[in-house]
């Protein structure tokens, strides 16, 4: 049992097919009269916003749509969204899209108050003052950003920085799985594995593991392990899409309070240097980090393996169960059509020491890992993943 904990999350979660068509009812009840919607061109192209816009109009809520968010958004996108919001004069913000749109919406809701510069907000608990009412509507099932107090912004050619503050937790989340029916298979697979990693790393997080995050991580894995294959192979299956969307949000609530660790620390240099999508970067190193952590976290992995592989006869030996879980994720990636080695990503073997050096910069994450991991360990893991 733990001695103390602080658990924070978004107060209201609305889940159900077509719930995004109620966005106007919800915004109006919150007192929003002029809403700034933050989204990206793909969401507009696939007409995912149409039902929500109609309902906002029905409710007399004036709307301005900022739709120029790009993946891994840079500061310039955040500032352009703020500028659009200032010109329009909004009293509420809606993030509608993947993690990129939701992360920009979080910062916009604070920056529009004009009390602080973005450059002063990076790091933990640096945000001062309040924010505008904020609703998040995810259209991918992966980052869990709708439920976290983090916003990730690209600040350099290969670097990202995070703003971490409870102020960034939204007022409401709307989970409408019909929005995710058109997500392409490769994106569904990679973002789904990312969300599963959030749950696994939250469950083994060494400093802030807590009973609420544990509960959320277990249920997230039960939902996602049982649905990821169907969601990837039969994209229009609403039940599987719903389970993935709910599972990713639960995993977001878990890792917001019990942070992720070495899988993410080793994945970030892959994203930064080769622009490999975040979920795929995680999938590539996951089995090898599990094996590395087995000696310390094997008993936790055994508990999760029973959830991920229900009905399977499991060994009582923690290292054997860890190996089984590592194999499961290798086979899952292959089955879902994802690459499983760094070699396939056209990464040169001579780059591996550079990657290991860069992974060591992620101490913010490595301090949560169940086993101490140094540069030589990181290099050995990259070699195994090669």
Ligand X SMILES: NC(=O)c1ccc[n+]([C@@H]2O[C@H](COP(=O)([O-])OP(=O)(O)OC[C@H]3O[C@@H](n4cnc5c(N)ncnc54)[C@H](O)[C@@H]3O)[C@@H](O)[C@H]2O)c1
- Contacting positions for ligand X (CB under 6 A): 40, 42-43, 46, 48, 71-72, 97-101, 103, 139-140, 142-143, 145, 148, 150-152, 179-180, 182-183, 191, 278
Question: 22, 3, 1, 8: which is closest to 258 by C-alpha?
Answer: 8
Can you tell me which of 171, 194, 214, 358 binds Fe ion, judged by CB under 5 A? Answer: 194
Q: Which does 151 bind (CB under 5 to 8 A by kind): Fe ion, ligand X, none?
A: ligand X
Nearer Cβ to Fe ion (133/279): 279
Nearer Cβ to ligand X (40/323): 40
Q: Which does 150 bind (CB under 5 to 8 A by kind): Fe ion, ligand X, none?
A: ligand X
For the chain, the maximum distance between any two Cα atoms, rounded to a whole number of angstroms, is 62
Nearer Cβ to ligand X (26/183): 183
| CB of 240 vs ligand X, minimal distance in Å | 14
| CB of 102 vs ligand X, minimal distance in Å | 7
C-alpha 201/C-alpha 78 separation (Å) is: 29
What residue is closest to Fe ion based on CB?
Answer: 194
C-alpha 57/C-alpha 85 separation (Å) is: 18
C-alpha 142/C-alpha 268 separation (Å) is: 16
| CB of 238 vs ligand X, minimal distance in Å | 13
Nearer Cβ to ligand X (190/302): 190
C-alpha 196/C-alpha 193 separation (Å) is: 5
Nearer Cβ to Fe ion (194/323): 194
Interface region with Fe ion, contact rule CB under 5 A, candidates 68-76, 153-161, 177-185, 189-197: 189-197
User: Residue ranges of the alpha helices (H) in 125-173?
Assistant: none
| CB of 294 vs Fe ion, minimal distance in Å | 21
C-alpha 264/C-alpha 278 separation (Å) is: 9
Nearer Cβ to ligand X (324/359): 359
| CB of 268 vs Fe ion, minimal distance in Å | 9
Nearer Cβ to ligand X (179/223): 179
Site membership for Fe ion, residue 103 (CB under 5 A): no
The string over 258-279, giving b where at least 16 C-beta atoms fall within 10 Å of a residue's C-beta and e elsewhere, is: bbbbbbbbbbbbbbbeeebbbb
* Burial tier of 361 (Cβ tally within 10 Å: 0-12, 13-18, 19+): middle
Q: Which does 176 bind (CB under 5 to 8 A by kind): ligand X, Fe ion, none?
A: none
C-alpha 309/C-alpha 117 separation (Å) is: 48
Angle between helices 185-203 and 211-225 (to 10 degrees): 150
For residues 279 and 245, is the Cβ–Cβ distance under 8 A? no
Site membership for Fe ion, residue 21 (CB under 5 A): no
Which residues of the shown chain bind Fe ion in the complex (CB under 5 A)? 194
């Amino acid at each position: 049992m733990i001695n103390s904990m602080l658990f924070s999350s978004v107060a209201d979660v609305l889940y159900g097919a077509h719930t995004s068509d109620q966005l106007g009812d919800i915004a109006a009840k919150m007192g929003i009269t002029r809403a700034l919607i933050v989204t990206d061109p793909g969401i507009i192209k696939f007409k995912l916003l149409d039902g929500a816009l109609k309902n906002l109009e029905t409710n007399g809520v004036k709307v301005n749509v900022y739709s120029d968010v790009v993946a891994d958004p840079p500061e310039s996108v955040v500032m352009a969204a703020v500028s659009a919001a200032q010109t329009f004069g909004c009293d509420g913000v809606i993030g509608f899209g993947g993690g990129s749109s939701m992360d920009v919406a979080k910062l916009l809701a604070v920056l529009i108050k004009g009390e602080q510069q973005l450059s002063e907000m990076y790091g933990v608990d640096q945000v001062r003052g309040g924010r505008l009412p904020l609703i998040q509507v995810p259209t991918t099932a992966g980052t869990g950003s709708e439920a976290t107090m983090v916003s990730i912004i690209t600040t350099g050619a290969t670097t990202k920085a995070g703003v971490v503050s409870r102020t960034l937790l939204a007022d409401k989340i709307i989970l409408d799985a019909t929005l995710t029916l058109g997500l392409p298979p490769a994106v569904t697979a990679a973002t789904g594995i990312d969300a599963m990693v959030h749950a696994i790393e939250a469950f083994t997080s060494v400093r802030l593991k807590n009973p609420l995050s544990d509960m959320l991580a277990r249920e997230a894995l039960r939902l996602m392990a049982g649905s990821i294959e169907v969601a990837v192979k039969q994209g229009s299956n609403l039940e599987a899409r719903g389970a993935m969307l709910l599972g990713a949000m639960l995993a977001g609530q878990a890792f917001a309070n019990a942070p992720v660790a070495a899988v993410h620390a080793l994945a970030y240099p892959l994203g930064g240097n080769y622009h490999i999508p975040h979920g795929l970067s995680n999938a590539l190193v996951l089995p090898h980090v599990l094996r590395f952590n087995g000696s310390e976290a094997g008993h936790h992995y055994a508990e999760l393996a029973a959830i991920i592989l229900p009905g399977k006869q499991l060994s009582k030996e923690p290292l054997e169960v860890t190996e089984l879980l590592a194999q499961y994720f290798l086979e899952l990636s292959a089955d879902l059509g994802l690459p499983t080695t760094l070699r396939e990503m056209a990464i040169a073997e001579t780059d591996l020491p550079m990657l290991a050096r860069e992974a060591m910069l992620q101490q913010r994450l490595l301090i949560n890992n169940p086993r101490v991991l140094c540069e030589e360990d990181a290099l050995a893991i990259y070699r195994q993943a090669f």
